[in-house]
Structure 1
C-alpha cells in the first residue's frame, strides 16, 4: 500500500469550500491500471464543472480531482506492459473517483504511454486529454483532410491548443479564434496559420478573406455559445462542426433547418477508449510518435503549486493562455 495526499471534492460549491486535501491510501493496482507517483497533473475546465456539480460523468461527492497525470510507475499488475520505474503519462481512473491531484494516482493502462524523450513532466501531464480528444475529433469523427480549412475556437485553451497542433500535423490550414491579443499571439506561436480575435474582429468577413470565400470545412468547438453561433455562419457546404465542450456555459446553438438548407453536420466528440484494445493502443502510439518527432507538444501555460489547487480550479472559467498544470513533486 502507498500513503499520501490527495485533493478531493467533499461537497459541491466554490472550489475553496468544495475541494479538501486529505490523507489517503492506495492499494495495489487492479488489472487495467498502473499506479504512479505523480510528478505533475494536467488541469482544465472540467475541474470547475466537477466542484460545481455540473460534470455529467460523476455523481455526488466524495471523489478525486484530476483527469490526467505524469509520473513514475510504482506498481503494476501481472501482465502489464509497464514496469516499476517507467516514466509515463496517462488518463487517471477518475471515473472510479480517483484523481491526479495527489501524491499517487491510478492511470488507465489503455490510456497510458511512456513519456516521449525530451518531454518535460509538465508537458507530459497536460498531454493525454487534449490530444486524445483532438484525435477523436479530427481523425475518428471527421476525419480532416490535408488542405482543408480548420477553425479552432478557444484556440489558446488546453483543448483548442491541442487541436491547433494536431490539425497542422494532419495537414490542415488552421485558423485560430481566441478572445485577446495575447491569446491570438499564443496560438500563432503554437502553430496556427492565422489567428482572429473574436472580440475585436468581424469573424465572418475575416474568414471569407482568409479562405478565399470557400468557408470553413471543420470547426473544432470547445466553447459553444455566441462564438460558435457566429463561426457556424462561415461553414462551407458539407462542412462539419465538432462539439467538444461548452466553456462559454452554453452549447453551440444548432438549428436543424439551417443545417438542412446549408448541408452541414454537427458531431459530438467524447474521447472514450476504443472498444478494440489494439486500435486504442495504435492511437496512443501514433500520438506518442508525433510528440517524439516534435510535431505536437503540450502548450504549457500556468504551472500551479500543489497547495494552490483550489485557486487553480477557480481560474479555469477564464484561464490564461495555454494548458494549466499542477506541479505535485519537485
Structure 2
C-alpha cells in the first residue's frame, strides 16, 4: 500500500501517543482547535457547554477547551458517561436521564454559558442554544443526532445569540497547517490525548460500525492494519 500525503498535513507522532491515538488526534482535535480559535476566540475562564462528550469530537472539545483555559460542561446520556466526562477534564457533567440541560444556567450563576459546542445536532440543538448567555455562540460541529434541528427563533433573536458551523474539510491549508502544529504541542505535553474505545483489524472493519451504533462507545474507534 502506498499513501501520498502533503508534507504540510503531517505531524510528528509525540512519544506520549501510540499509532492508534495518533490517528484519532488529527481530524477530531483540528476540528475542535479551529472552532475554538478561528470560528470563535475562546477566552480563559469562559464556560463551554459540550454535547456528545464521550464521542471522539466531544472528548476533543473537552480537552482542547480546557487546554485553552475554558471551563467545559459536559452533556451526557448516562451516569457512567458523566464520570468519564469528568475524568476527561469537564468541570461538571449534566446527566440527561436524571437532569435537564437547563442546569447549565445554574452552573454559570444564572448567566448562561459563553459557548455551546455541538457535534450531535438533532433534537437537543435548540436546548443548547437556549442555555447560551446573551450574545453567546453555538458552534455546530456535526450531526450524529440528526441534520434537522428544532429551535425556537425567539431563543435566537431575543438574546441576540449567534450560530456558526465548522467543517475541517472545508477549511483552507492556510488555517489547517499552523493549527496542526499548535495541536501537536499540548499533545506532546500530555494535555491532549484521544481515548480509544476499541480497535478492529482491517478485515473486520464492518464490525467496527456496530460499535458506534450501540451508543455504548466512549472515545474513538480505530481500524488498524
Q: Give the TM-score taking structure 1 as reference length.
A: 0.64
Q: Which residue of 2 aligns with 1:210?
A: 107
Would you tell me which structure has more helix in proportion to its own residues?
Answer: 2
Cα 1:249–1:185 change in 2 (3 A) is same
Change (3 A) 1:254 1:143: farther
Aligned counterpart, 1:304: 200
- With over 3 angstroms needed to count, the CA separation of the structure-2 counterparts of 1:293 and 1:269, relative to structure 1, is same
2:23 maps to what in 1? 125
Select the structure of larger CA radius of gyration. 1
Deviation at 1:157, TM superposition (A): 0.4
Q: Among 30, 38, 41, which residue is 1:143 paired with?
A: 41
Which residue of 2 is the match for residue 228 of structure 1?
125
Secondary structure of 1:126's partner? helix
CA distance in 1, matches of 2:106, 2:82: 18
Q: 1:126 to 1:208 in 2, by over 3 A?
A: same
Partner of 2:177: 281
Q: Give the Cα–Cα distance (whole angstroms) in 2 for the partners of residues 258 and 208 of structure 1.
A: 14
Partner of 1:53: none
Change (3 A) 1:257 1:210: closer
Give the corresponding residue for 1:270: 167
Structure 1 gap ranges (5+):
3-25, 27-34, 36-105
Partner of 1:259: 156
Unaligned runs of 5+ in 2: none
- Look up the match of 2:60: 162
Q: Distance in 2 between matches of 1:259 and 1:273?
A: 25
Residues of 1 paired with 2:170 and 2:179: CA distance? 10
Query: Residue 224 and residue 274 in structure 1: after superposition, are their counterparts in 2 closer, same or farther (change >3 A)?
Result: closer
Aligned partner (choices 147, 163, 167) of residue 250 of structure 1: 147
Q: CA deviation at 1:290?
A: 1.1
Q: What is the rounded CA distance, in whole Å, between the counterparts of 2:50 and 2:158 in structure 1?
A: 24
Bigger proportion of residues as strand: 1
Q: Distance in 1 between matches of 2:115 and 2:10?
A: 28
Aligned to 1:294: 190
In the superposition, the TM-score normalised over structure 2's length comes to 0.92
Residue 276 of structure 1 deviates from its aligned partner by 5.3
Shift in Å, 1:199: 2.3
